[in-house]
Structure formats: C-alpha cells, structure tokens
Structure 1
Amino acid sequence: MTAPITVLGVTEFWGAIGAIGSFFGMILAGIAGYVAFRLFRVESGRDLKADEFRREQAEELVRHQATRIGFWVDSDAKQVVVLNSSELPIFRIRIVFQDYRSYDQVLPPVIFPDEKVVHFQDALVPGERIHVSEQAFREEALNKNGFYFGQGTYIQFIDNAGFRWKRAIEGGLSEPEKVR
C-alpha cells in the first residue's frame, strides 16, 4: 500500500514548478529585452540616416536656385554680367566691389577695404541679365590709376525662398543667411 499524497507535498510540487517557470520566464524576458534593444538600435540608426538624407536634400534644394545665378566679367564688352538662369526670380540684387582706401598718415600705413555698391536692382526674372559697364566701376573707385576691373567684385541677392547669398566674381558661393 502506498502512502497518500499530503497537501504539503502537492504545494511543494507546484511551488517548485512555479519557481522553475519563473526562472525560465525571467530568461525569456531578458532575451526579449535584448532583442528589443537591438531592434531599437537598428531602427534608430535607420531613422538617423533618413533624417540626414532629408536634411541633405533640403540643403541641396535651398542651394539649387543660387547655383543657377551666373556672374562674370565680359572682357570684350568691358562689363560685368549677372544672369538668372534659374526657374524663379531673385530679389534685391546688389553688385558690389571692394575698393581699397590707403591711410598713409598713420604708421605703419594701413589699407582698409571700402565696399561700394555699383548697381542695385529690386528683381531679376528668369532668363534676364544685368550688364554693368567698367565705367560705372571706375567712377566709384577711389584710386582711379590703380583700379583693376573685376577685382574684389561680388553680388548679393535674395533667392525665392528668402535666403541671402553672396557670389564672388571667381565663382564662390557663400552659405545662405535666412532673411524672411
């Protein structure tokens, strides 16, 4: 004859089963937490790359119109030319050159750049050009004999998105400044 199972034995049995189940549940929770952490890192990396891509696209879109504004010296016609080859108008176009003022009275002699606006125009529509003659620059120059046409010349303009740009006669384009 076998001994009857006591209530204490059944309780201990189910307690042991519960402890083993809790232990394996803890292990599964740890594994699930690790998988969730890895998934979070992968998704975060993907989101960061997507944000960087969108930011680069937005910057390229902002630069697109400014890169299509031409500015050069036409040596044959002795004039500076600005061309809007973009699809949108540009605004508040200023053609500026840096004239250098010499202060011989101070020791040692100092040369300061003096910016002169040679031409201003409110708007330039697509396909339109601005022509400014060498004579307009020469009239503004402080040193008429040492004047070199085109040297230190740049344009400033505001694109259709409201960014102010500066392009040097050599072709360099400055970083934009938000105006409106």
Structure 2
Amino acid sequence: MATIFHIALASEWAAAREAGVYTTSTLGRSLAEEGFIHASRADQWTGVRDRFYADVSEPLVLLQVDTDLLDVPVVDEPPAPGVEETFPHIYGRLPVTAVVRAIPLSPGAPAAAPEPAAPARPAAQSGPAAGGDSFSKVFLLEMYFNAAVASVAILLSALGIAIGVAIGGDRAPGIGGLVGLAVGVLVAVRVYRRRHPRVA
C-alpha cells in the first residue's frame, strides 16, 4: 500500500462523503479545472499547508489516501514548470472509500503533525505517519505489525493441535489445528481492521 495525503476543507470533505467522491483539486480549484487532484507525500503536506492554507480560517482535514484503492492513475510530477520537487497527482475523482483516515487540522495554526486518532495507521501505524515518518520507518512498522498478526494465527493453530493431542484420537489434532487456525484468522482480521479502519 502507498499512502499519500491531501488537505481539504472540512465542508468539501463532508459533501464528498455524501456524494461518494471527492473532486476538489486544491484550494479554490476543481478537478475539472485543474485536470488532477493535488496530493503530497508524508514529508510534504506540512509545507503545502504552510504555503497555501495558512490564511484559511475554515476547518481543514488531512485526507490519508491508500493508492491501492484508487481506480485512476497517480503520477509523481512537478507542480509547475521549472520546479524540481515532484508531488503525487491523482488523475481522476477520489472515491471516499480510498480515504483511510480523515484527520482534523486546526485552521490558521502552524502546521504540526497531528496526533492520529487511535487506532493508528501506517503512514501512521500506530498511527501512520502523521505526516513526519519516513517511508522506510512506516514500511518496517507495517511489516512488523503484519508479521505479529500472522504469528498470532499460527500460535493459535499450534495451540489447537496441542489440545487435540491432549484429547487423543486420530482426528483430534487435525480438528484442533483447524479450529485454532480459524480462530487465529478471525483474531488477525479483527486486529488488522481495528488498526486500518476505513473512513466512509
């Protein structure tokens, strides 16, 4: 999963949630006018907020977008001719189902990485990147989390086998292992979903 960010007016995000899609490109510009939706990586959104949203008094939200959930291209490119830094641009409408978290930002305040609401996420993991973690750190934290969740499923399966052996019989270990694995998978899915909630 790749995570990118977009700063939105809270009112426009609320309207998008009603419509099912978000179509604002940037402050005061629509997707139809611009041709794409401006986005940022975790290390870029605070600079964008300071530069373009410092005078905005209306409430803002930081949209955390999972690019794997998009059905349109995301292209890294300079925002203007002569600019060397590239930014992710979303070439199409942003479905609200691709926004895994909407973090409220205080209007008019200096940009500081917000504290993500629990449960956190990658880019925020235990709260993804609330905007300042490097990609490597986020990736490693997510990898360790996934390995820990898988280990829980394996341990519960092994526990089921052990109980089956203690009960005795030819089929008890196999049945115990399957029951343990089923319980482990259910626990793993629940833990994963709590860590990675979908914002509708």
Q: TM-score range by the shorter chain?
A: under 0.3
TM-score, structure 2 normalization = 0.21
Which structure is higher in helix share? 2
Which structure is higher in strand share? 1
